[in-house]
């Protein structure tokens, strides 16, 4: 149980285009999902916290107009990188909490590797 | 906000020896401390976690200790095996809120 999927697993796009990444909780309802970015050989940096039915909370320094987050259902959150540039190339990982438990564990998706050319 | 520091950044151990990774945190409100193992290009995997009402937790070869007063917690891996080679991250958070991660420790187990 507690499986989180992401799609796509990797994507290459041209500079100036937008890319959407989906994060799904497959067997539980996720009231809260988190989006992270990880550059090579670095740690996970939280970008935003996504709550179902409400606006996402962005971390300091993360442009909310560039990284659009939508959490329209209890099993799906999306991250759209708008007007992507080469410096946005990174490994994007989502995680989700099972809202039906008192467990604090975050379940991570497999990640999406974005390359902007 | 929470600041988590992790040491060492790299750790090389002989197979069968123990490995210890240490983390400190700044926010006294933090009460949840998970440890993750991440292999190259893969998702982080939870290996053990501890809440602040417990001082130590063990799961087979892995143990975590927490000192709330000093605001530090440690991961102990005994009888290391080559498959333990990976990057390990500590994290700290308040309840089910967001996590702050340490910078990571690259562990290499020499056969």
What 8-state DSSP symbol labels residue A105? Answer: P
Q: Which residues pair with A57 in a beta bridge?
A: A49
- According to DSSP, the β-strands at B99-101 and B86-93 are antiparallel
In this prediction, residues A89-97 reach a mean pLDDT of 96
The partner residue sitting opposite B101, judged by closest CB among A44, A104, A110, is: A44
Chain A contact for B49 (CB, 8 A cutoff): yes
In this prediction, residues B1-17 reach a mean pLDDT of 96
Q: Determine whether A70 is exposed, middle or buried from the number of CB atoms within 10 Å of its CB (0-12, 13-18, 19+).
A: middle
Which of B48, B98, B100, B106 best tests the A interface by mutation, with the highest count of A CBs <10 A? B98
Closest-approach residue (CA) in chain A for B5: A43
pLDDT band at A115 (very low <50, low <70, confident <90, very high): very high
Residue B38 neighbours by CB distance under 10 Å: 20
Chain A contact for B52 (CB, 8 A cutoff): no
pLDDT band at A8 (very low <50, low <70, confident <90, very high): very high
A53 pLDDT more than 90: no
Chain B contact for A40 (CB, 8 A cutoff): no
The partner residue sitting opposite A43, judged by closest CB among B41, B42, B102, is: B102
State the Cα–Cα distance between residues B60 and B23, nearest whole angstrom: 21
Q: CB A111 to CB B95 under 8 A?
A: no
CB A1 within 8 A of CB A16: no
């Amino acid at each position: 149980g507690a499986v989180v999927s992401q799609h796509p697993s990797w994507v290459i796009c041209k500079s100036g285009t937008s890319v959407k990444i989906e994060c799904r909780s497959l067997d539980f309802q996720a009231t809260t999902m988190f989006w992270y970015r990880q550059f090579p050989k670095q740690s996970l940096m939280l970008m935003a916290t996504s709550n179902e039915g409400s606006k996402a909370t962005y971390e300091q320094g993360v442009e909310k107009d560039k990284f659009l987050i939508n959490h329209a259902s209890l099993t799906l959150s999306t991250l759209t990188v708008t007007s992507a540039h080469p410096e946005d190339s990174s490994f994007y990982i989502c995680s989700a909490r099972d809202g039906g438990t008192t467990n604090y564990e975050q379940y991570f998706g497999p990640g999406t590797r974005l390359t902007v050319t | 906000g929470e600041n988590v520091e992790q040491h060492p950044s790299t750790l090389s151990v002989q197979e069968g020896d123990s490995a210890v990774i240490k983390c400190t945190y700044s926010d006294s409100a933090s009460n949840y401390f998970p440890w993750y193992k991440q292999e190259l290009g893969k998702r982080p995997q939870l290996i053990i976690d501890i809440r602040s009402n417990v001082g130590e937790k063990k799961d087979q070869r892995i143990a975590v200790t927490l000192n709330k007063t000093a605001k530090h917690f440690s991961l102990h891996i005994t009888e290391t095996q080559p498959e333990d080679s990976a990057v390990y991250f500590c994290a700290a958070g308040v309840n089910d809120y967001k996590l702050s991660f340490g910078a990571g420790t690259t562990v290499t187990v020499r056969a």
